[in-house]
């Protein structure tokens, strides 16, 4: 399947939620809580700028990737990790656009430009990683 056809095909399976056990939900919740607590400690120690860098870390990504690998295989987990990486790199573009534009142009324009930057960069990175 080509990268473009995978970009255009989005589907969901709500019935798949029934395949996830309570233990797996608990693992995700626990890991997310631990990451949030660590970020809070970093924020107290080093300030909100440093904590913000770490809070951008997807709190449940590692637990989710483990569960996806277990249920759907390593390839599916790799695809999810690739998407998370592309989105994270896109967030750098978003942040840069806000940083540059916020002092100069209205907030709605900054957010529109930053969102567009995120989308374009994320898609380009995702296609390059495929």
Q: Determine contact, residues 125/90, Cβ cutoff 8 Å.
A: yes
Per the model's pLDDT, the better-predicted residue between 72 and 19 turns out to be 72
Kindly tell me if the per-residue pLDDT of 6 is higher than 60: no
| Band of residue 59 on the pLDDT scale cut at 50, 70, 90 | low
Q: Determine contact, residues 57/93, Cβ cutoff 8 Å.
A: no
Kindly tell me if the per-residue pLDDT of 11 is higher than 80: no
Supply the pTM of this predicted model.
0.61
- Per-residue tokens: 38: 């660590």
pLDDT reported for residue 17: 67
Q: Determine contact, residues 40/50, Cβ cutoff 8 Å.
A: no
Q: How far apart are CA 106 and CA 94, in angstroms?
A: 16
| Band of residue 124 on the pLDDT scale cut at 50, 70, 90 | very high
Mention every residue, 6+ apart, whose C-beta is less than 8 A from residue 98.
110, 111, 114
């Amino acid at each position: 399947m080509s990268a473009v056809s995978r970009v255009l095909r989005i589907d969901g399976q709500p019935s798949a939620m029934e395949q996830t056990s309570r233990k797996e939900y608990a693992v995700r919740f626990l890991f997310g809580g631990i990451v949030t607590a660590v970020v809070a400690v970093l924020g107290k120690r080093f300030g909100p700028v440093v904590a913000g860098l770490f809070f951008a870390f997807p709190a449940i990504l590692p637990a989710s990737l483990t569960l996806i690998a277990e249920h759907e295989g390593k390839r599916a987990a790799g695809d999810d990790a690739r998407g998370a990486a592309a989105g994270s790199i896109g967030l750098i573009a978003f942040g840069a656009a806000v940083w540059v534009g916020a002092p100069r142009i209205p907030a709605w324009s900054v957010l529109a430009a930053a969102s567009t930057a995120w989308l374009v960069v994320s898609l380009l990175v995702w296609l390059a990683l495929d």
